[in-house]
Every structure is written in C-alpha cells, then in structure tokens.
A and B are shown apart, each in its own frame.
Chain A
Amino acid sequence: MKFVGLVFKSARRNLRRTMLTVFSVAIAVFLFAALRAVLDGFHAAAEASSSTRIVTIRSTSMIFSMPSTHAEIVRGLPGVRDVTWASWFGGIYKDPKNFFGQFAIEPESYLRMFPEIVLTPEQKAAFLEDRTGCIVGDGLVKQFGWKLGDKIVLKVGIPIYGREDFPFTIRGIYKAGSNAVDNQTMLFHWKYADERSVRPGEVGWLVSEIANPDQAPQIADAIDRKFENTPYETKTDTEKAFQSSFASMFGNLDLLLGSIAIAVVVTTLFVAGNTMAMSVRERTTEIAVMRTLGYPSHIIFFLIAGEGLLMSLVGGVLGASLARVLVTPSTFGGNSFMPPFGVSGRNVVIGVLLSALIGVAAGLIPATMASRLKIVDALRRAA
C-alpha cells in the first residue's frame, strides 16, 4: 500500500529513538523465547518420561540412600517386571565448575530398562566388561572434547566415597533417544563406587518397570508400604512426577520464569508506548497539516499505529531470530540439571506475535491521541 512508505519514512525520522525501541523489544522477545525454551525443556522431559517406570527414593529426600537389598524385595512384588538402581556420585572433573551428572548404576539392568540410552552393541559390551569403564553422553563429549578410550579422572565430591580419585575409561558414547534421558550425563558401574564407599551396599534410588502403567499408583503404594516403619522408609512415584520434583528443587520454575517474562514484556510495553507518545507529541503540527490536507483521522490512526507495529515487529523478528540461533543447551554451560532444549519454531512465532502485540498496545494510545487531535489547536500551538 502507498501509505506503507510513509510509515517507514516516519520511523526513520529519529533513527536513534527508533533503534532503541527496536532493541528494547528485541531484548524482551529474546528473553521471552529463551525462558520459554527452558520451560519447554523441563516439560518435554516430563512428557517424554516413561509411564511404565516408577522411581523409589528415600521418603526424606533423594540425597539419602537405601540398602540395595530393597531392590530384591521390590522385584518380588506383583506387577513389577524389572528393577534397577543408581546413585548420585557428585564427583569433580578437574574443576567444580565443570558440573555434570554422574550416576553410579547397576549396568546391565539399567541399560535394559533405559532403551533411550542408545549405544552400539560393541560399546555396550566393552562397558559391561570393564569395572572402571564409563559411558558418556554425546553432549558431554562435545563439551570436553573426549573420545572413545580416553581416561578421565573424577575427584571425590561426596565424602562417603573416600578421598582417592576415581580413574575411568570411556567405553561408550551414548545418544539420547528421547527427552527422558539427557546427553550430558556420565554413567558407570555402581560396584566401582560401592567398593570404596564408607556405607557399602547403599543405593540412591530404585527404578522399577511395571507391566501396566494404570497400576502405577497401587504398585507405588505397595512398595512404600513394604518399607514402612523401617529405618529406610521410601517414597515411590512415576518417573514423570520424579522429573517434575527434580525441577522443583529450584523452586517453582514455571511461576518464576513466567513472572520474569511478563515483567520484561510489560516494561518494554511502557518503554515503547512512551516513546511512541513522545514522537506523536513532537509531530503534532505535522499531523495537523496532514489532517488539513484531507487525511481522515482513521488513516492518521493507522499510520501511527503502523509505525509502532513496524518497530516492534522488526524488534520481535530480531530478538526471536537471535534466540533461535544463540539459545542452545551449551548456552548454559552444559549444566546437566538442564534438560536438552532449544528455541522451537513455535516459540519463535509466539515471540514475534508477542512483539506485534506490544507494538499494537504501545501504539494504541498515541495513535488515538493523534487521530483525535483538534487541527486548529495543534496548528496554533506551533505558531
């Protein structure tokens, strides 16, 4: 349309101010898309978690452990098909800031119950044979530049594993077959850690495979009742619930990140709205002149609102594109508390729509002001 050119020329009038508006919207949309990506990552992990796997932890918290003999008791319960266990190792690779998850697992059953951990048969065999072997996710391999056969050393992070360093050999590099597992974790033989533990025979948590997902609540109940009134009481829940509670260790992420996103967007709305109002006030005479030339008030309205929309959309596209390119798991240093995530196409679209919304909302009042302007008053003020 012929008026679009006017909108562009108008936006160029005060280039610095236009740029500031564009960038503030870009930053808002960038933050919004990045926060959404993190949230989506957590939700996707919960969604992808298996409904036939239930997890048993100590009723107090997952950092307390329970005897490995619990596993045999659980295996005997009706409806339970398979059981495995794992412990949190918490070792340090070179520097505490190289944080990633390390699980001491019962290898055979664990790999059997987690088909999402994708390994070649040769690597799997090599891992099972080597007591000090480990398998690592391809995300970690990328982060640290490891390769098959590398020797890596973990310093002890939790004192129950003694003082001496733990050397490992990388026997396998796995890929994550779904969001239920992440590719930033190191897995190794539980026995290896247990040999040196001051509390041998203890495990962090149990994972049970059940025949029928509908029975999850009943079986979970049965497991927990089994250990009632023992020194090691348990709490059993589905993997999904476990994933969510894992995330909730950081507080209510949804609410926190959601509030941040809203605060940023609302602030930007005010900034953009104020900028628009300022530029309309400066242009009072021009608007009055255009009205004198016969421009009807609705076209004036659309010209001003269009300018707000244009600036916001440019900012939105900029911010969403940057988020898409820059926000990847490695943005957060490959922290293994973070599930794999990225800015989805859907979030790009939502981000751009959000910027459009900011633009329209910010332009609404100034555009109304401009279209309601009394021509003679505006001309008189300038003279």
Chain B
Amino acid sequence: MTMALIELRDVTKTYKRDAIEIPVLESVTISVPEGDYLGLMGPSGSGKSTLLNLLAGIDRPTGGSIRIGDTEISTLSERALAAWRARHIGFIFQLYNLIPVLTAFENVELPLLLTSLSKKQRREHVMTALNIVSLADRAAHYPRQLSGGQEQRVAIARAIVTDPTLLLADEPTGDLDAKSAGEVLTLLQRLNTEYKKTIVMVTHDPHAAERATHLLHLEKGTLVEQVGA
C-alpha cells in the first residue's frame, strides 16, 4: 500500500469562548490517498469547515498530528505555513471570495505573484487555468460582471493555477443555482479524473456528494461512518 497523501491522527480542536471550552473536533483520524475525491458531510455545526481549515493550514489543531505529503503542518511556523499553503493548497470558498477590484485574470494571477515566475510565464499559467474552467474569454471582466457560477469557476482557476497538491472546497455549490452547481461539480470531477487532483470537498448537497469517490460523515465532532466507493 502506498503512503496516504493526507494523514490525520487524533486531531482535536477546541475553541475557547469566555473560559468555556467548546470541543469541535474530537480525536479525528483519517487517511486520504493521493488522487482521492473525498466528500465531507454532516449537519451544521458538526465541524466540517473546521476540519477543512485545519487541512488548509489556516487554523491549528489543539492536539494530534496532520501530515500532508511529507510535511507535518501542525508544527510549522506562521511564515513557513503561509509558504506551504502557497505551494500546496488550492482553496475554493462557498462565496467565491474574488477580489472585486481585480479582473478575472488578475484574481487568478494573485497566487502566482508569490512565485518567481516571470510575467510571461504567469500569463501562460493564468490563461491555461482560465481555459480549463472555460472562461478565457472573460479574463478582462471584473467579478461584478460575472454570474455566480462564472465567479466560482474563476475562483477554481485561482485555486488550481499554482498546480497545488491538494484542492479544498467548502460548500463550493452552496450559493449556486442547480445549473451552475452542476457545471462546477463537473469541473471538479474533471480536475480529479483528468488532472489527478486530490480533492476534499465539504458539502450539504447530495448531488455534490454523489460525485465524490469517498464520503465521510461528521457528527458532533467525530467521524461516524466512512462510505467506500
């Protein structure tokens, strides 16, 4: 058996609110093989986003270990963690979160500004990513000139432009109509099958869950079942 890409061991997360400790994740252990498309489901407040944020390295666990690739990210410094995110993580938000003053092109280029790529190389990468999401013709458009589905596809282009190790999506279709949601899901599936991207997606949507190769259910901070495919 090959080593899993993601290895979570006894991960706990508690938030402190006015001296009261709120346990959000309790001893979560998961391993995700490379090339997997994992769906994370569960009721509201069960800790799905929290878990995804830990994987993304934008939040830190209270206990346990998180290894992604050959990096134990729970012990990285802030600065090293930021550099690691830039290199390895592509994050897709529910509300797209494009920068309104930047065009689609500039939004997708944003992560590349942190690399040593030349302007010309950046341009090539951005156009490749926009082509994958079929929005090359909208490169000069601002977010407010795009539909929600198009905005989310630009956001996906932004997430894949650096060719990250891992794609993380937190309810990527949560704010979209059925048709746009379908397009986005098809796109994610293609990224998984054609481009061999490992994806972890949080979702409430059964249609979305169908597309994943594995499903994981969270209930009050613990894993309740793992449905194989």
Q: How far is the CA of A376 from the CA of B52 in the complex (A)?
A: 11
Q: How far is the CA of A10 from the CA of B94 in the complex (A)?
A: 23
Rounded to whole Å, the gap between the CB of B43 and the closest CB of chain A is: 17
State whether A376 touches B59 (Cβ < 8 A): yes
- Kindly state whether residue A292 has any CB partner on chain B within 8 Å: yes
The stretch of A231-239, A294-302, A352-360 that contacts the partner chain: A294-302
State whether B97 touches A285 (Cβ < 8 A): yes
Instruction: List B residues 95-154 near A (Cβ within 8 Å).
Output: 95, 97, 99-102, 106, 110-111, 113-114, 119
A-B contact count (CB 8 A): 65
Instruction: List A residues 282-332 near B (Cβ within 8 Å).
Output: 285-286, 289-297, 299
Rounded to whole Å, the gap between the CB of A152 and the closest CB of chain B is: 63
Rounded to whole Å, the gap between the CB of A157 and the closest CB of chain B is: 63
State whether B97 touches A289 (Cβ < 8 A): yes
Q: Is the interface of A mostly helix, strand, loop or mixed?
A: helix
Residues of A close to B59: CB separation below 8 A: 375-376
Q: How far is the CA of A383 from the CA of B89 in the complex (A)?
A: 21
Among candidates A6, A299, A382, residue contacting B95 with C-beta atoms closer than 8 Å: A382
- A3, A6, A379 interface centre (most CB from chain B within 10 Å): A379
Residues of B close to A289: CB separation below 8 A: 93, 97, 99
B: residues with CB less than 8 A from A are: 53, 56, 58-59, 78-79, 82-87, 89, 91, 93-95, 97, 99-102, 106, 110-111, 113-114, 119, 158
State whether B101 touches A13 (Cβ < 8 A): yes
Known: A286-B97, A294-B114, A295-B114. 20 other contacts (CB 8 A): A3-B113, A6-B113, A9-B101, A285-B97, A289-B93, A289-B99, A290-B99, A290-B110, A292-B58, A292-B91, A293-B91, A293-B111, A295-B82, A295-B86, A296-B78, A296-B83, A299-B114, A375-B58, A376-B59, A383-B95
Rounded to whole Å, the gap between the CB of B84 and the closest CB of chain A is: 8
Residues of B close to A383: CB separation below 8 A: 94-95
Residues of A close to B53: CB separation below 8 A: 375-376
Residues of B close to A281: CB separation below 8 A: none
